[in-house]
Amino acid sequence: MADPTETTSVPDLSIDLAGIAMRNPLMTASGTSGYGPEYAHLVDLHRLGAFVTKAVSPEPRKGNPPERVVETPSGMLNAIGLANVGLERFVEEKVPFLESIGCPVIVNVIGHSHEDFCNVCARLDPIDCIAGLELNVSCPNVADGLDFATDARRLEELVHTVRPEVTRSTLIVKLTPNVTDIAETAHGAIAGGADALSVINTLQAMAINVDTWKPRLANRTGGLSGPAIRPVAVYMVNHVYTAAAREANVPIIGMGGIATWRDAVEFLLAGATAVAVGTALFIDPRSPLHVCDGLADYLTKRGLSSVRELIGRLG
């Protein structure tokens, strides 16, 4: 007869992200796998903990002119400019597919004003298949973008205004690393009523063509992502966790250069409850599934029964 005190050989990967029940902590990072159909033929979406869409704004956006993406050492620089189909086409054309994917859906939301964010959230919150709304408050690559995320008070006001529109789904606020102290904006988001935080968005950066003496991106500057930013992201997750989120019991979605299970473990130990994979999808679209399998093996080898035992356990 099996010893009931023995640690089960299949570790429990499930987590609760402020009300979103996820079968594992692996998510996609916004903007790196479209609205789902672009990615679904490469990966079984139902094996993910959650799928995060690219940004949705009130009106359609064409985004920036090319070049919009350049490769950098251990990273990638993008200035897509939040190109998207806009709210109404998203609801009509993209939601029916998202209803069928078999994992929680989180929609990334952008806007230029309180009213924009409120209108998009009010329209999306009642839709059953949408489990979370992630406010992208830091539009680093859009010339006309208001940057709510660099000022803690403005961020708190924005989240406070949007909060009443989000009654059914989980309200997530995505923080920018382009600040002096990310704990201050984390405090602002939490004070405004955020249920969860995404940490981090891309780092503002630039690459220059030495033949033409011009920026390599048409937008001049862009957002840096990929393994190059991972240590920055791990630090910021840990800082937000210890200075603001742990005490408030607000879970963190950690992201920034995650490509392997080791990277994911770093983020979990630093204080993340879930982890998102973005730039690594362009190299291996199945990487979140490999990370998930590696995480399960790691837990088994260490005799741990649940992934939750790793969260915030940095010594």
Residues with a catalytic annotation lie at 139
Query: Rule CB under 6 A: which of 275-294 touch ligand FMN?
Result: 277-280
Single out the residue of 222, 256, 285, 288 in contact with ligand FMN (rule: CB under 6 A): 256
Q: What is the DSSP string of 217-258?
A: STTS-EEEESGGGHHHHHHHHHHHIIIIIHHHT--EEEESS-
- Indicate the residue among 13 and 135 with the shorter CB distance to ligand FMN: 135
The answer to whether residue 31 forms part of the interface with ligand FMN (CB under 6 A) is yes
Residue 11 or 267 with smaller CB distance to ligand FMN: 267
CA 61 to each of CA 13, 82, 240: distance values in angstroms, whole numbers, following the listed order: 37, 7, 32
Considering beta carbons, is residue 255 or 310 the nearer one to ligand FMN? 255
Closest approach, Cβ 200 to ligand FMN, in A, equals 6
How wide is the angle at C-alpha 160 spanned by C-alphas 311 and 51, nearest 5°? Answer: 45
Longest dimension (CA), the chain: 74
Question: Given candidates 24, 176, 178, 201, which one binds ligand FMN under the rule CB under 6 A?
Answer: 201
Enter the tokens of residue 114.
Answer: 């309180």
Burial class (CB in 10 A: 0-12, 13-18, 19+), 213: exposed
Q: Tell me: does residue 140 bind ligand FMN (CB under 6 A).
A: no
Cβ proximity to ligand FMN: between 169 and 279 the closer is 279
- For the bound state, the minimum distance from the C-beta of residue 301 to ligand FMN, rounded and expressed in Å, comes to 25
Residue 219 binds to ligand FMN (criterion: CB under 6 A): no
DSSP string, 25-52: SEEEPTTSSTTSHHHHTTS-GGGSSBEE
Binding to ligand FMN by residue 225, rule CB under 6 A?
yes
Q: Which chain residues interact with ligand FMN by CB under 6 A?
A: 29-32, 54-55, 76, 78, 80, 82, 108, 136, 174, 201-202, 225-226, 229, 255-258, 277-280
